Amino acid sequence: MGSSSYGHIELLPSGSYRVHVYVGTDPLTGRRLRYRKTVRTEQEAQIALGRLLEQAADGKRPDSRVTVGELLVQYLEVAELDVSTRHTYEGYIRRTIGPALGGVELRKVRGPMLDTFYARLRRCGDVRCTGRSFSEHVLFPPLTVRPGLRPAWRQVADQIRAAIRSGDLAPGGDLPSVPAVARVNGLEPGTVRHAMLTLDKEGLIRMRHGRGALVLGEPAVDAPPGRAGRMPAGHDCARSGCRRHVCRPMSAATIRQIHAILSGAFSTAIRWEWIERNPAASARLPRSRYRAPSSPDPDAVAKVIAVARERGLELLALYLWLAATTGARRGELCALQWADLDLDKGVVHIAYSYLVRPGVRARKDTKTHQDRYLALDDVTVAVLAQRRRAAAEARASVGSQLPEDAYIFSHDPAAASPWNPDWVTRKVAEVADAVGVKLNVKALRHYSASRLLAGGIDLRNTAARLGHGGGGATTLRHYADPVTEIDRQAATYLARITAPSPFDGSEE
């Protein structure tokens, strides 16, 4: 076959000819870059070789066969995402996008493929599901503890460690929760937790609040869907707690989040000249159902604050009061330091949020990357001043002063570290449940927005207090009550001016 220093012609078993022209290596993926074309005759192959060499000389980028999984890896490396958003993206990619699309070549992704993918997720959020019945195998190894030998938690840790190192539990795989492991294996939860914490310190797993642990390491982006490891020999479904799969449809909002990740990655691929068009642009998104925001009434908020004080949780009561009167996010309140308050002017500076993620505890900028100054009423100023005096007196009793960077809400006597936002969520729910009130910290943001608008405060100021941009559209769509007092006044006004009323007097 003919050849040149830049490419060659290959005779295929079918009798056709394939032309290859190599133009280097992709610096991002390490893949060889080449032009390829298949023709029927050797003469056509010689002509195609010349044309491809001209394209290479003109600097036109050839096909690099990059997969969606490789794109997502590179995209996450360059994307400007805050810690919490990056953590969310990595979870969607690991659990859903990678197993379903990771091995697909980027150039082969089209709108219909994404439409099918989203439709599957609407039927069931588990990418393993094909519509047929199957078992959800728990690959976590059965645990056996023998009395009289090493401590039980050490035996449990050894067995889990061996399963991870053997590959039975693969990197990126989710582990069952501590209560689930303890229940299936007939062990004490404390024993399992001690073992898990030990493996967490060793860097083999990552413990997560409210969820099962995660096996650390680099998962394969093109691994078969749902595989968190390999099936151990002699696997016993009854012993491991395996169960039949039950379809759980993925919400439209979650699918839209997955679409946003893919769309952003595809846009980056266009900029890198890996593809010419964004396939996500032609995909059809599921319609998201509008969920009317709900906020507690003032009596319910006052009741929860009062119960917190009755239980001796004065600091939690102050937290709830600030959440209701400022509309600040839970992480923003946790991140407040005394330096952020100007009690003489009655102003609080909201500039930071406290973030807790696996392996990360940080005081970072706010969710919208904007800071804001909020006015405080006289009652709030007085309560905060009293709290500061109490904190300063407590520090003075041990011979130190209250530093300006001390956190307002802290379990630490030195106030050097703030409350964990997840702890706040659980504690508020506990107090609210005790009085039969449905309330959480985010509901207090809804409360602040709806009450301000109902009280005649303009939308711009309300949105500014909550830290919303976009002229208040987010405030109206997601935080204000669907029927405000102002709207009721409008209905009353229309009824009053529509005279004579056809309903006056008795019915005939």
Q: Which domains does the chain have, with CATH numbers?
A: 7-65 (no CATH), 135-244 (1.10.10.10), 298-466 (1.10.443.10)
User: Band of the pLDDT at 223, cuts 50, 70, 90?
Assistant: very low
Q: pLDDT at position 239, please? A: 63
The angle formed by the CA atoms of residues 320, 322 and 324, to the nearest 5 degrees, is 70
Does residue 79 or residue 56 have the better pLDDT?
79
Q: pLDDT at position 506, please? A: 46
State the SS3 of 456-501. Answer: CCCHHHHHHHHCCCHHHHHHHHHHCCCCCHHHHHHHHHHHHHCCCC
Q: pLDDT at position 167, please? A: 77
Q: pLDDT at position 493, please? A: 67
**Contacts of residue 167, Cβ cutoff 8 Å, sequence gap at least 6:** 229, 230
The pLDDT of residue 400 is above 80: yes
Q: What is the pLDDT of residues 149-170, one digit of tens each?
A: 788 999 999 988 888 888 778 7
Q: What percent of the chain has pLDDT over 70?
A: 80
Tell me the two tokens of residue 450: 């709806």
| Mean pLDDT, residues 193-220 taken together | 78
The pLDDT of residue 319 is above 80: yes
The angle formed by the CA atoms of residues 335, 337 and 342, to the nearest 5 degrees, is 125
Averaged pLDDT of the chain: 81
Q: pLDDT at position 339, please? A: 94
Rounded CA-CA distance 123/125 in Å is: 7
User: Band of the pLDDT at 441, cuts 50, 70, 90?
Assistant: confident
Q: Which amino acid is at 405?
A: D
